Amino acid sequence: MNVLEVTDLRKHYPIHAGLLRREVARVRAVDGVSFHIAEGETLALVGESGCGKTTVSRCILRALAPTSGSIRFDPGQGGTVDLATLPKRALRPLRRHLQMIFQDPYSSLNPRMMVGDIIAEPLKVNGVPAAERNARVLELLDLVQMPAVARTRFPHAFSGGQRQRIGIARALALNPRLVVADEPVSALDVSVQAQIINLMLDLQDRLKLSMLFVAHDLSVVRHVSDRVAVMYVGRIVEVAPTDALYRAPRHPYTETLLAAVPAPDPMRRGRQMKASGEVADPAKPPPGCAFHPRCPYAQDRCRVERPELTEVAPGRWASCHRAQEIELTGVA
Ligand code: SF4
């Protein structure tokens, strides 16, 4: 059963100019994105800064209104709702089922509130009685491996990793159906990143979480995701089960992202292409395949004909004209 089904999602920003405010260009931040998340599954949405992944997550949370497309969400009450078109008032009761873990643990916690009140806030908003709230806060602190005494302290008393644990506890307070984690470890030191990833693995195991894990590179999502969707200039260019994508990518852009992943044994990595050049401008994407100016495998056809996302093997999708003929290198 799918908790989330996103179909042909678009978020465009028209640019107007002149006295008549005519549309002169259109930034296609998200341009026809489709994916699903099954119950208990973690999907990683990965791509460089500006690829549209954060816009996708903000559309799901309705912090942004999509231009078109549907976002069907199953809140677990029998039937699904389309978050893309639901009026804001109707969204409010659904918020408890859809929670977010923020990127920056320093700015996402109110410095004037004690940790216990921060974690209890969503419970309070949803009418949970005080006695139950206190018991639940203790349970949640234990779940994220923080001491009970933390509830009477303020966020500044804690390190970045501990603050992220508090943010995770708050996100889990209402047992949400879906958690959107927006780069939850990118603001942390590498050693602390590993601790938070381990905590998330533990929580996935214990709570069977369904999660959209947004990240800018492939180095952090390998162990935390079941499948990976790679985005480039507003579109998904590859979707695959995590292990398969790391071992043998089917899109050249995925191969370049994998080139940045530290290899356990660099001697086994072999030839791996690194893309040159800048990410394309979503207001003026190149014709044909948007990746062609950076792609070491580009041919004439790539410069004029845009490849569609097609199934290249069971459960594996890629948008590349040459997905079936070129052999790309993954990581061991
Ligand atoms: Fe490279 Fe062509 Fe594939 Fe685009 S379609 S990724 S340019 S080989």
Cα–Cα distances (Å) from 191 to 197, 198, 212, 269, in that order, read 10, 11, 23, 24
Q: Quick check: is 182 in a domain?
A: yes
Q: Quick check: is 199 in a domain?
A: yes
In the prediction, which pLDDT does 278 show?
76
For the CA of 292, the nearest atom of ligand 1: 7
CA of 60 to the centre of ligand 1 (A): 29
ipTM: 0.99
How many structural domains comprise the chain?
1
* DSSP label of 306: P
CA of 301 to the centre of ligand 1 (A): 9
CA of 296 to the centre of ligand 1 (A): 8
* DSSP label of 92: G
Q: Which residues line ligand 1 (CB under 6 A)?
A: 251-252, 289, 291-292, 295, 297-298, 302, 307, 320-322
Residues 107-137 pLDDT 10s: 889 999 999 999 999 999 999 999 999 999 9
pTM attached to this predicted model: 0.92
Q: Quick check: is 21 in a domain?
A: yes
Say yes or no to pLDDT of 214 above 50. yes
Enclosing H/E stretch for 300: none
User: Rounded to 5 degrees, what are φ and ψ at 171?
Assistant: -65, -30
In this prediction, residues 44-73 reach a mean pLDDT of 95
For the CA of 326, the nearest atom of ligand 1: 8
Query: What is the distance, to the nearest Å, from the Cα of residue 60 to the centroid of all Cα atoms in its chain?
Result: 10
Distance CA 170, CA 325 (A): 47
Q: Quick check: is 70 in a domain?
A: yes
Nearest CA to ligand 1 atom 7: 292
CA of 260 to the centre of ligand 1 (A): 20
Q: Quick check: is 75 in a domain?
A: yes
Residues 270-327 pLDDT 10s: 444 555 677 788 888 899 999 999 999 999 999 999 999 999 999 999 999 999 999 9
For the CA of 302, the nearest atom of ligand 1: 2
Three-state SS at 131? helix
| CATH number of residue 199's parent domain | 3.40.50.300
Q: Quick check: is 142 in a domain?
A: no
CA of 317 to the centre of ligand 1 (A): 14
CA of 294 to the centre of ligand 1 (A): 9
DSSP string over 273-288: ----SPPPPTTSPPSS
For the CA of 321, the nearest atom of ligand 1: 5
Q: Which domain holds residue 51?
A: 2-107+178-225
Q: Quick check: is 125 in a domain?
A: no
